[in-house]
A and B are shown apart, each in its own frame.
Chain A
Amino acid sequence: MATISVPDRPTRARGIQFAPPVRLIGIGLLVPLLGLAAWTVGARQGWVPPQILPAPQVVWDTFLELWQSGDLLANTLISLQRVLFGFAAGASLGLLLGTAMGLSRPFEAYASVLFTSLAQVPALGWIPLAMLLVGIGESLKLIIVAVGTLVPVAWNTRAGIRAVPSGWFEAASLWRYSRAQVVWHIVLPATVPQIFVGLRYGLGHAWLALVVVELLASSEGLGYLLVWGRQMFQLDVVIATMAVIGAIGFALDAALAAIERRLQRWQVASP
């Protein structure tokens, strides 16, 4: 009678590293802090006139004022709402389109030339046409944000599906998987990492595009606040708003990254 064997040892230790370690975030803050220091010193020494570059303290006070008046919050919420709706629409369409192109050669044959050439036009390049078509209302913002999201999501979804190793399809056919089972149980999970690359790019593009549309054609939102600050020659408002835009963009990406890590606990974190 054979003895029960002991499995050979795992090659990798159980401890999985989750990026990014605190140390690296600290390094990332170094440059902004140096910049802030230079700005503070520069403003105090009067190297640039305060009408052009107000001191950090002034900007901070303006930020608090904007916050307390509710202007900042109201405009932020409007921008966030726009970006989230547009992103949701663009991401859903992009997923559908990318999946269809990835799974169906005939569909790809029909769609790929058109898609590839339209994808060369940046989301902002759609603004003039969209303005003519839908005016400068809410739908303009939604369309531009959705386009900015759709392209990278569709692109990466298709690439991810194409990269699924054929060996898995063979295994699936041995187990008599239906087409739906192959898509749901193999293609989808195998493509999640690449889809997230697309989603993160997409959200970044979406946020950027939204701010620009608001600069050009809006009476609310953070982009509009920038325009308003410039028109009033209130550079402190402009800088405070820029800081908020940057922080929100950072937070949106971090939120997606966190969801991604949760969905992919099985993956070895890359160093």
Chain B
Amino acid sequence: MVATAGSLEMRSVTKRYSVDGSPLVALDDVSLAVEPGEFLAIVGASGCGKSTILRLFAGLDAKHDGAVLHDGAPIVGPSLQRGLVFQEPRLFPWLPVERNVLAALRNSHLDAHARRSAVRDHIALVGLQGFERAYPHQLSGGMAQRVAIARGLVNRPDVLLLDEPLGALDALTRAHLQDELQRIWVRERTTMVLVTHDVDEAVYLADRVVVMSPRPGRIRDIVPVTLPRPRDRGDEALLRLRAHLLRTLAGTPQHAGLALHRAA
């Protein structure tokens, strides 16, 4: 199955915030095109505008210069066709897992029966069968983030935007969920844009890796990763790409030490 919808584009987008009265350029003339069905990763030091890009694509922030497009149409607000997963799972503690996922379908065009089966399917997709009735406080961090991913996908969006979704997890759980994400992407072919601090995660999962530099937020480099999937984390070519990316990141003005530290 080849996806035909799900392209995203930014043309000369500049986004300014004002912090205590003084202007702050979060994105400076950024242009970026995401192909339908592509897995794009964005890396860069914190504060370089990665979340801002996702928020603009999600339609959470309408004030900007330049054009932000989904399948060629301007993005003016949120849409069920674009899912967003945050770093924190943002589950509702008063609802069990299945109803947390159902909450994302409140304004879906599906009827009640179709909603129930969509919820069931997506809980299975993230490997949480048997936990439908569990409450968030009974879940580990990794499980909660799986629920968040199921929520992001349950509307069957053309595009899934992921903002450091695995950033808060321990290394083992993170590696495990990276595999899950890859499996889901291979199966669903949803366009995915993944923001991450983790260069290894980026090269392991993505078709292309966007490297950003901060103050002002700009795209510094876009590195294609052409290796076939499933990928081997120890692959020579992957390790070379990783080294290249880390060098590029190290050349960015600030916070470069963070990326190097992670590689060590």
Contact = CB atoms under 8 A, between A and B. Distances in A.
Interface of A: 2, 4-12, 14, 165, 167-168, 170-171, 173-178, 181, 185-186, 189-190, 192, 264, 266-268
Interface string B46-89: 00000000000010100000000000000000111001101010
B138 A10 contact: yes
25 contacts: A2-B183, A4-B127, A5-B127, A5-B176, A5-B179, A7-B140, A7-B142, A10-B134, A10-B138, A10-B139, A10-B140, A11-B139, A11-B141, A173-B78, A174-B60, A175-B78, A175-B105, A175-B107, A176-B80, A178-B107, A181-B106, A189-B92, A266-B96, A266-B136, A267-B93
Contacts of B78: 173-176
Contacts of A173: 60, 78
B11 interface: no
Contacts of B84: 174
A176 B230 CA distance: 36
A185 B106 contact: yes
Given A11-B140, A189-B95, A264-B94, 4 more contacts: A174-B84, A175-B106, A266-B135, A266-B136
A182 to B, nearest CB: 10
B90 interface: yes
A168 B79 CA distance: 16
A184 B173 CA distance: 35
B103 interface: yes
B146 interface: yes
Nearest to A174: B78
B142 A8 contact: yes
B219 interface: no
A14 B79 CA distance: 37
B104 A170 contact: no
Contacts of A192: 94
A9 B142 CA distance: 9
Interface of B: 58, 60, 78-80, 83-84, 86, 88, 90, 92-96, 103-107, 127-128, 131, 134-143, 146, 155, 173, 176, 179-180, 182-183, 230
Contacts of B128: 7
Instruction: Determine the main DSSP class of A at the interface with B.
Output: loop
Contacts of A167: 86, 88, 90
A190 B91 CA distance: 11
B126 to A, nearest CB: 9
Nearest to B104: A175
Contacts of A9: 140
B21 to A, nearest CB: 21
A76 B107 CA distance: 51
Interface centre among B79, B136, B139, B230 (most CB of A within 10 A): B139
Contacts of A175: 78, 80, 103-107, 155
Contacts of B143: 7-8, 10
Contacts of B127: 4-7
Nearest to A165: B90
A170 B96 CA distance: 20
A167 B155 CA distance: 19
Nearest to A14: B138
Nearest to B230: A2
B67 to A, nearest CB: 21
Nearest to B127: A5
Contacts of A185: 103, 106
Contacts of B131: 7
Contact of B140 (A2, A4, A8): A8
Contact of A174 (B83, B94, B179): B83
A177 B107 contact: yes
Contacts of B79: 176
Nearest to B134: A10
Nearest to B130: A7
Interface centre among A8, A9, A189, A192 (most CB of B within 10 A): A8
Contact of B107 (A10, A11, A176, A268): A176
A14 to B, nearest CB: 6
A2 B179 contact: yes
Of all A-B residue pairs in the complex, the 7 with the closest CB atoms, nearest first, are: A2-B183, A5-B127, A266-B135, A11-B140, A189-B94, A174-B78, A176-B107
A116 B86 CA distance: 38
A149 B138 CA distance: 35
Contacts of B139: 10-11
Contacts of B135: 266
Contacts of B107: 175-178, 181
Nearest to A171: B90
A173 B103 CA distance: 12
Contacts of B146: 7
Contacts of A2: 179-180, 182-183, 230
A90 to B, nearest CB: 26
